[in-house]
């Protein structure tokens, strides 16, 4: 994907049967029943509405900036001027070029660019931004833009690994056409000599010795080739089945390792009410959907504090999803005695197959043991 690209014009649809509101930020925010809101809420990235003349964000889902650690009160400042304040210094020219293209744009054109922006931890991540002009003033000047932003860091990370494996496969293809073909050609030449009519005993013995040497060389090349091929196959498998992060917020983190067929949950602090974690059950459904039956779970509850009854009910509902999805072993790290008593009571009620540990290493070792 090029850094800057201009896509074909938007396909025009007949809006006669669609409930499409005005594109003001107010309507986008409050009209929950509209088609526009449905599209926004199901978007993979963050949909944003810009005031182009003021270089300000009028509306944004905040999804992408949330994943980068920014809070709601911080997203507006971070998003203004096309992320100029948090963009990588080397990418400043990309923003300027994007603004220039928008000013010169024709109706219906879509513009996109890739940009590195800084997360709250100071690390740079890649995003992909797409914009189209939404409205112009009487002079034809752009006044509003609508667009989407997607965090592509993980995609780029995996793509780089796949490119590396592709280059290794090219190397194997080269070895196949040179190192493997060489002894094959030698063997065919020796077979042709054996078919000659003028042969002596010494000549035949020499040919067989050469054939044995060539066959041994070929066998060694094939063995090395297979070892390298299997190594690359396993590395490629790990690349496409590495750890996938489901959720990371101030109350819990949830991820899965598809290679190990294992989920990882970390419970943070005190949950005063279940409304603080509205996506907890849906996150667990996503996690279990990525795992096979007989998966394992490592729960880090070392920072957990005892929870009220409605939160306990939430945990029991989540445990029901986990048990139904086929969990086989659960290792739980606890350090607070009261929290441990509460967790044990919930596990007994939901028939959770778990064991408590005080250290992460002991828990991992126990989970790695075959059932």
| Contact predicate 300/265, CB 8 Å | yes
| Contact predicate 210/194, CB 8 Å | no
Q: Where are the beta strands (DSSP E) in the chain?
A: 4-7, 46-51, 56-60, 110-118, 124-136, 142-151, 243-248, 252-257, 262-269, 295-304, 327-333, 354-357
103 is written with which tokens?
């000013």
Q: Model confidence at 10, in pLDDT bands (50, 70, 90)?
A: very low
pLDDT value at position 44? Answer: 64
pLDDT value at position 53? Answer: 86
CA separation for the pair 197, 368 (Å, rounded)? 66
Q: What number is the average pLDDT over the span 73-77?
A: 72
Q: Which CATH number fits domain 243-368: 3.30.750.24, 3.90.1170.50, 3.50.30.30, 1.20.1260.10?
A: 3.30.750.24
Q: pLDDT digits over 302-351, tens only?
A: 887 777 888 888 988 998 899 889 999 888 888 766 655 666 666 666 66
Q: What number is the average pLDDT over the span 241-248?
A: 76
Residue 6 has pLDDT above 80, yes or no: no
Q: What number is the average pLDDT over the span 208-222?
A: 81
Q: Is 254 exposed, middle or buried (0-12, 13-18, 19+ CB in 10 A)?
A: buried
230 is written with which tokens?
């299997």
Q: Is 28 exposed, middle or buried (0-12, 13-18, 19+ CB in 10 A)?
A: buried
Q: What number is the average pLDDT over the span 150-157?
A: 80
pLDDT value at position 153? Answer: 80
Residue 247 has pLDDT above 80, yes or no: yes
Q: Model confidence at 295, in pLDDT bands (50, 70, 90)?
A: very high
Q: Which CATH number fits domain 4-151: 3.40.50.300, 3.30.300.30, 3.30.70.1400, 3.30.450.20?
A: 3.30.450.20
Q: pLDDT digits over 18-69, tens only?
A: 343 343 444 444 444 456 566 666 666 677 788 888 888 777 765 666 667 7
Q: What number is the average pLDDT over the span 78-85?
A: 78
Residue 158's SS3 state is: helix
Residue 117 has pLDDT above 80, yes or no: yes
Element containing residue 100 per DSSP (H, E): helix 92-103
CA separation for the pair 26, 93 (Å, rounded)? 33
Residue 308's SS3 state is: coil
Of the two residues 78 and 260, the one the predictor is more confident about is 260
Domain ranges of the chain: 4-151, 159-240, 243-368
Percent of the chain exceeding pLDDT 90 equals 7
| Contact predicate 145/110, CB 8 Å | no
CB atoms within 10 A of CB 360: 13
Q: pLDDT digits over 169-199, tens only?
A: 676 676 666 677 777 778 788 888 878 767 7
96 is written with which tokens?
């300027």
Q: Model confidence at 371, in pLDDT bands (50, 70, 90)?
A: low
Residue 280 has pLDDT above 90, yes or no: yes
């Amino acid at each position: 994907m090029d850094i800057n690209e201009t896509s074909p014009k938007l396909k025009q649809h007949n809006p006669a049967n669609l409930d499409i509101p005005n594109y003001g930020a107010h309507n986008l925010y409050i009209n929950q029943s509209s088609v526009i809101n449905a599209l926004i809420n199901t978007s993979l990235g963050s949909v944003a509405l810009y005031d182009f003349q003021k270089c300000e964000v009028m509306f944004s889902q905040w999804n992408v900036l949330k994943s980068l650690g920014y809070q709601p009160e911080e997203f507006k400042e971070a998003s203004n001027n096309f992320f100029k304040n948090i963009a990588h210094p080397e990418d400043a020219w990309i923003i300027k070029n994007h603004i220039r293209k928008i000013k010169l744009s024709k109706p219906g054109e879509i513009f996109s660019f890739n940009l590195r922006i800084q997360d709250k931890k100071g690390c740079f991540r890649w995003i992909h931004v797409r914009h189209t002009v939404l409205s112009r003033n009487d002079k034809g000047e752009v006044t509003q833009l609508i667009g989407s932003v997607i965090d592509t860091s993980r995609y780029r990370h995996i793509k780089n690994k796949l490119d590396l494996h592709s280059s290794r496969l090219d190397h194997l293809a080269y070895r196949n056409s040179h190192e493997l073909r060489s002894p094959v050609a030698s063997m065919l030449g020796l077979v042709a000599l054996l078919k000659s009519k003028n042969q002596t005993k010494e000549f035949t013995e020499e040919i067989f010795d050469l054939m044995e040497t060539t066959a041994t060389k070929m066998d060694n090349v094939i063995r090395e080739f297979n070892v390298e091929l299997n190594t690359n196959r396993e590395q490629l498998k790990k690349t496409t089945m590495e750890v996938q992060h489901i959720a990371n917020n101030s109350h819990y983190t949830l991820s899965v390792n598809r290679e190990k067929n294992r989920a990882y949950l970390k419970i943070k602090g005190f949950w005063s009410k279940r409304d603080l974690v509205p996506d907890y059950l849906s996150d667990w459904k996503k996690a279990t959907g990525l795992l096979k039956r007989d998966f394992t779970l490592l729960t880090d509850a070392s920072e957990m504090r005892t929870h009220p009854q409605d939160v306990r009910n939430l945990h029991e509902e989540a445990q029901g999803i986990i048990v139904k999805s086929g969990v086989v072993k659960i290792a739980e790290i606890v350090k607070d005695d009261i929290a441990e008593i509460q967790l044990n009571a919930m596990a007994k009620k939901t028939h959770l197959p778990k064991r408590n540990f005080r250290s992460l290493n002991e828990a991992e070792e126990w989970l790695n043991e075959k059932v």
